[in-house]
C-alpha cells in the first residue's frame, strides 16, 4: 500500500532472484524512508526480513551525534565563545541534519556572507528542517546569533490569499460551526502553501453528494502528512454536501 502511494512497486526495488540473505539496497532505502518519514511501524523491516529471508538494516545503526564533513567540524570549532551551550547544540544538530540530507553549509551559504546576510537556501533548509524533520524552533535563532545572519521564520498564514478562496469562505453556510469553518479556512491556506487551488481540485458544478477525487486525495494527504485536523474532511463534506471518504473507509 505504502509503495503504491509513493508510485513504486516491489519489482522495481527487489532484483529478480533475490533470495535468502539478500539485502536489496533500493528496498532497504524505501523501508527506512517509510519508517522515518511516512509513519510505517519500525517492525516493518523485521517483518520483511522474516518473510523473505532478507537482511535489511536500519539506517540508524549509528546515531549521528557530530557532523562528519571537515567543513562542518571547522564551523563548530570556530563558533563564538559567548554562544550558549544550547545554541551550540542546535547548530551541531543542524549540521548533522544537513549531512543526512546530502547537503553542506557551503552549498547553502555563499562565500563572504557576513553580518546581516540572509542566505535564501539556508533559510529554506532551516525552515524545512523545523517543519518536517524535527529540528528545534530555536535552530534559526542559534544560527542568526552565531553568524550574525537575519534568517526569518515562515510567515504564519492565517487566511488564504487567493480571491476564489476568500469568496468560498464568505459563502459558507451560516449554520456551519466555527470549528468546521476554521478547518475549511486552514485547508484553503494549506492548498495555497502547496501551490494548489480549490478550482483545480473540484470540477465546476460539483454539488451535493459529489466526491471529487483530486480533492479527496488532497485532504487525505494533508491530514496524513501536513498536520491538518482529522475533522477537515467532515468540515468540507458538511460545508459543500460532498461525500469525501478517508483512506480507511476506502479500504473498507
Can you give the pTM of this predicted structure? 0.45
Q: How many CB atoms are located within 10 Å of the residue 36 CB?
A: 15
- Tell me, rounded to whole angstroms, the distance of Cα 228 from its chain centroid: 12
Tell me whether residue 13 is in a domain: yes
| Alpha-carbon distances of 198 from 104, 145, 169, 244, rounded to whole Å | 38, 41, 11, 14
Burial of 30 from C-beta contacts in 10 A (0-12 / 13-18 / 19+)? buried
Residues 75 and 135 in one domain: yes
Q: Is the pLDDT of residue 222 over 80?
A: yes
Distance from C-alpha of 93 to C-alpha of 96, rounded to nearest angstrom: 5
From the list 174, 249, 175, the residue with the least C-alpha distance to 219 is: 249
Q: pLDDT, tens digit, for every residue of 10-53?
A: 888 887 778 787 888 888 888 888 887 777 887 888 888 888 88
Residue 120 included in any domain: yes
What is d(CA 142, CA 27) in angstroms, rounded to the nearest whole number? 37
Question: What's the pLDDT score for residue 16?
Answer: 79
Give CA separation, 124 vs 92, 114, 118, 130, 140, in Å.
18, 18, 10, 10, 11
| Domain boundary, last residue among 92, 122, 147 | 147
Same domain, 124 and 203: no
- Long-range residue pairs from 6-12, CB within 8 A, at least 24 positions apart, any chain: 6/30, 6/34, 6/38
Whether residues 45 and 77 share a domain: the answer is no
Q: Is residue 99 part of a domain?
A: yes
242 in the same domain as 168:
yes
Place of cell 481540485: 201
In a domain, 28, yes or no: yes
pLDDT above 80 for 61: no
Positive/negative CA dihedral, 101, 107, 110, 114: positive
Query: Are residue 114 and residue 138 in the same domain, yes or no?
Result: yes
| Domain range enclosing 87 | 70-147
Q: What pLDDT shows up at residue 33?
A: 84
Domain count, the chain: 3
Check whether 6 has a pLDDT greater than 80.
Answer: no
**Is there a single domain that holds both residue 168 and residue 238?**
yes
Strand, coil or helix: 176: coil
Same domain, 175 and 244: yes
Q: Which of 6-10, 84-88, 106-110 has the lowest mean pLDDT?
A: 6-10
pLDDT in tens, 186-197: 999 999 888 889
Query: Is there a domain that residue 59 lies in?
Result: no
Residue 8 three-state SS: coil
Say yes or no: 170 and 221 in one domain.
yes
Higher pLDDT, 69 or 22: 69
80 and 43, same domain (yes or no): no
Q: Is 57 within the bounds of a domain?
A: no
Examine residue 158 and state whether it is found in any structural domain, yes or no.
no
Nine cell digits for residue 67:
557532523
Amino acid at each position: 500500500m505504502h509503495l503504491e502511494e509513493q508510485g513504486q512497486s516491489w519489482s522495481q526495488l527487489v532484483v529478480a532472484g533475490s533470495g535468502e540473505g539478500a539485502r536489496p539496497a533500493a528496498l532497504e532505502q524505501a523501508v527506512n524512508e517509510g519508517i522515518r518519514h511516512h509513519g510505517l511501524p519500525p517492525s516493518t523491516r523485521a517483518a520483511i526480513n522474516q518473510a523473505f529471508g532478507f537482511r535489511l538494516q536500519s539506517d540508524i545503526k549509528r546515531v549521528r551525534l557530530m557532523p562528519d564533513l571537515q567543513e562542518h567540524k571547522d564551523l563548530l570549532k570556530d563558533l563564538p565563545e559567548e554562544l550558549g551551550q544550547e545554541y551550540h547544540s542546535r547548530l551541531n544538530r543542524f549540521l548533522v541534519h544537513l549531512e543526512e540530507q546530502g547537503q553542506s553549509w557551503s552549498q547553502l551559504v555563499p562565500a563572504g556572507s557576513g553580518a546581516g546576510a540572509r542566505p535564501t537556501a539556508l533559510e529554506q533548509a532551516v525552515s524545512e528542517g523545523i517543519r518536517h524533520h524535527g529540528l528545534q524552533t530555536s535552530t534559526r535563532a542559534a544560527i542568526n546569533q552565531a553568524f550574525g545572519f537575519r534568517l526569518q521564520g515562515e510567515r504564519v498564514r492565517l487566511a488564504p490569499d487567493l480571491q476564489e478562496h476568500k469568496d468560498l469562505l464568505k459563502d459558507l453556510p451560516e449554520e456551519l460551526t466555527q470549528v468546521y469553518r476554521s478547518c475549511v479556512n486552514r485547508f484553503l491556506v494549506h492548498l495555497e502553501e502547496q501551490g494548489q487551488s480549490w478550482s483545480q481540485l473540484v470540477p465546476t458544478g460539483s454539488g451535493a453528494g459529489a466526491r471529487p477525487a483530486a480533492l479527496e486525495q488532497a485532504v487525505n494527504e494533508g491530514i496524513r502528512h501536513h498536520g491538518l485536523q482529522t475533522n477537515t474532511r467532515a468540515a468540507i463534506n458538511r460545508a459543500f454536501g460532498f461525500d469525501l471518504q478517508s483512506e480507511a473507509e476506502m479500504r473498507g
